[in-house]
Every structure is written in C-alpha cells, then in structure tokens.
Amino acid sequence: YGDHRDLHLSIRRQRQMCIRDRHGATLVWGADPEPWSWYFADDPGQRPTSFQVVRSEFDDILLKNASKHGVEVIEEAQVLDVIFENQRATGAVYLHEGSEKQVSARFVVDASGQAALLSRKLGLLEWDTHFNNLAVYGYFKNARHLDSPNDGNIFIEAFEHA
C-alpha cells in the first residue's frame, strides 16, 4: 500500500533484519543424490534475485507502512467472517477485546494463511494430494555454505517418508 519506494531499505537496515539475497535454489530431489541448481536470472523477464527476510520484522514494516498511508490497523483481533454484498467482499466480522465487531472496507484481503477463511467459506478449498508435504526449515551456525555461485541459494532436500 502506498509508494513502493517507502519499502526500500538501506543496506544497514537489511543487515539488521538478516535480509539475504537469493540467486536461486539448490535441490537434492528424487533418486539422484547429486545436488542441482536453478537460478532466478535464467527465467526471462524475472528479477535476477529473490530475498529472504525475518518474516515477523518484515510484516511489521508492511503493517506500519499501511498505517502510515491511512489504513486503519486493528491488532490482536480474530476475523470470524467476511461480509458479502452482491457477490463482492465488503467487510468483515471480527472479535476484538472480547467483543464482536463489524467493519466495512473498500478492499478485503484474506491473509489467514492455512486457515483459508475465504476459500473455506466459498467452498473453494482443494487439497493437492501430490503436494501433501511437511516442510521443516532451520538455521544453522557454523555450517559450511555451498560453493560459489550457489553459496546464497535456498537449499531444499526432499525425500520420501517411510
């Protein structure tokens, strides 16, 4: 919301937030134990890098930016339902400080993640049985990085469960 330039961060702030440029991904996938890599720059029309942020800190920056540009921010609230008029989302019913309240809005964004509030309400939720996965991630100290040019890549390893 607002001017995207407001979200550009200084190099110093990026380091404080642990933002890391990612040039691609390296995978160990399937029967072949040898890692293989792909790069964002190889996709025509795409940016040559992606980035990784500390999600809670980046979310806070986005929230403060929205507030700065006139969005009414209500924290510590639980959305209970989305209000529709003429097949268009026009607001929400939410629980805040023990009281059920209602708000109307020009735009409604479902940011409920896996709770999938809107797709459940509209009967659109579909599970992809092929990607019925569990992802576990972690950060390690003193671990060896991949060799250049893959040293900043996202590293993904997949295996079948027993």
> Contact at 8 Å (CB) between 37 and 22?
no
Tens digit of pLDDT at every position of the chain (162 positions): 344 445 555 555 655 665 667 889 999 887 778 899 989 889 888 778 887 777 788 888 888 888 998 988 899 999 999 999 999 999 999 999 999 999 999 989 898 888 899 999 999 998 877 766 667 777 778 888 888 889 888 888 887 765
Q: Which of 28, 10, 43, 47 is nearest to 150 (CA)?
A: 28
Bridge-based pairing of strands 77-85 and 50-52 is: unpaired
Task: Output DSSP code: residue 142.
Answer: S
3-state SS, residue 6: helix
Q: Which helix H or strand E contains 13, and what residues bound it?
A: helix 11-17
In SS3 terms, 71-88 reads as CCCCCCEEEEEEEEECCE
